[in-house]
Structure 1
Amino acid sequence: MGIGISVRGLTKSFGAARVWEDVTLDIPAGEVSGLIGPSGTGKSVFLKSLIGLLRPERGSIVVDGVDIMQSTARELYEIRRLFGVMFQDGALFGSMNLYDNTAFPLREHTNKTEREIRDIVMEKLELVGLQGDENKYPGEISGGMKKRAGLARSLVLDPEIILCDEPDSGLDPVRTAYLCQLLIDINAQTDATILIVTHNINVARTVPDNIGMLFRHKLVMFGPREMLLTSDEPVVGQFLNGRRIGPIGMSEEKDEATMAEEQAMVDAGQHAGGVDDVEGVPPQVVATPGMPVRKAVERRRARVREMLHTLPPKAQQAILDDLEGDTASVGAQRR
Structure 2
Amino acid sequence: MGIEVRVEGLTKSFGRQTIWQDVSLTLPAGEVSVMLGPSGTGKTVFLKSLIGLLKPEHGRVLVDGVDMARSPERDIMEARKKFGLMFQDGALFGSMNLFDNIAFPLREHTRKKEAEIRRIVMERIELVGLVGAEGKLPGEISGGMRKRAGLARALVLDPEVILCDEPDSGLDPVRTAFISQLLIDLNTRIDATMLIVTHNLDIAATVPDNMGMLFRRELVAFGPREVLLTSREPVVAQFLTASKAGPIGMSEEKDAATLAAEAAAYTPPAEPKALVPQLEPSAGLGERAAVARRRERVRGLLHTLPERAQSAIRAAYGWERSAWAHHGGAS
Q: TM-score, normalised by structure 2?
A: 0.92
2:303 is aligned with what amino acid? H
Alpha-carbon deviation of 1:266? 8.8
Q: Distance in 2 between matches of 1:297 and 1:223?
A: 15
Matched, 1:43 2:43: yes
SS in 2 for 1:79: helix
Q: Deviations over 1:177-219 (max 9, x none)?
A: 1111011011001000010000101110111000000001000
Q: Distance in 2 between matches of 1:11 and 1:325?
A: 39
Match of 1:311 in 2: 305
SS in 2 for 1:154: helix
Match of 1:331 in 2: none
Task: Quickly say closer, same or farther: Cα 1:266–1:30, change in 2 above 3 A.
Answer: closer
Task: Quickly say closer, same or farther: Cα 1:68–1:263, change in 2 above 3 A.
Answer: closer
Q: Distance in 2 between matches of 1:266 and 1:316?
A: 24
Task: Quickly say closer, same or farther: Cα 1:266–1:57, change in 2 above 3 A.
Answer: closer
Paired residues of 1:189 and 1:292 also in contact (CA < 8 A): no
Paired residues of 1:189 and 1:291 also in contact (CA < 8 A): yes
Alpha-carbon deviation of 1:256? 4.9
SS in 2 for 1:288: coil
Alpha-carbon deviation of 1:58? 0.6
**Aligned residue-pair number:** 317
Q: Deviations over 1:114-138 (max 9, x none)?
A: 0000011111111111111111111
Task: Please show how residues 60-99 of structure 1 align to structure 2 within 5 Å.
Answer: 60-99=60-99
| Structure 2 runs not aligned, ≥5 long | 321-331
Q: Distance in 1 between matches of 2:97 and 2:219?
A: 40
Task: Quickly say closer, same or farther: Cα 1:265–1:210, change in 2 above 3 A.
Answer: closer
Matched, 1:298 2:264: no
Paired residues of 2:234 and 2:263 also in contact (CA < 8 A): no
Alpha-carbon deviation of 1:292? 3.3
Match of 1:216 in 2: 216
Match of 1:193 in 2: 193
1:49 is aligned with what amino acid? S
Instruction: Using the TM superposition, name which of 157-166 and 285-294 deviates more.
Output: 285-294
| Structure 1 runs not aligned, ≥5 long | 268-276, 327-335
Paired residues of 2:82 and 2:161 also in contact (CA < 8 A): yes
Q: Distance in 2 between matches of 1:260 and 1:8?
A: 30
Q: Distance in 2 between matches of 1:18 and 1:217?
A: 7
Alpha-carbon deviation of 1:278? 7.2
1:141 is aligned with what amino acid? I
Cα RMSD, aligned residues only = 1.8
Alpha-carbon deviation of 1:157? 0.8
Paired residues of 1:85 and 1:162 also in contact (CA < 8 A): yes
Q: TM-score, normalised by structure 1?
A: 0.91
Task: Please show how residues 1-335 of structure 1 align to structure 2 within 5 Å.
Answer: 1-259=1-259, 279-324=273-318
2:14 is aligned with what amino acid? F
1:135 is aligned with what amino acid? G
Task: Quickly say closer, same or farther: Cα 1:263–1:39, change in 2 above 3 A.
Answer: same
Aligned residues: percent identity?
Answer: 66
Paired residues of 1:32 and 1:187 also in contact (CA < 8 A): yes
Task: Quickly say closer, same or farther: Cα 1:294–1:131, change in 2 above 3 A.
Answer: same
Q: Deviations over 1:90-130 (max 9, x none)?
A: 00011111000000001111111100000111111111111
1:41 is aligned with what amino acid? T
SS in 2 for 1:22: strand
Q: Deviations over 1:127-164 (max 9, x none)?
A: 11111111111111111111000000000111100000
Paired residues of 1:241 and 1:278 also in contact (CA < 8 A): no
Paired residues of 2:87 and 2:165 also in contact (CA < 8 A): yes
Q: Deviations over 1:207-253 (max 9, x none)?
A: 10000000010000000000000110000011001111110111122
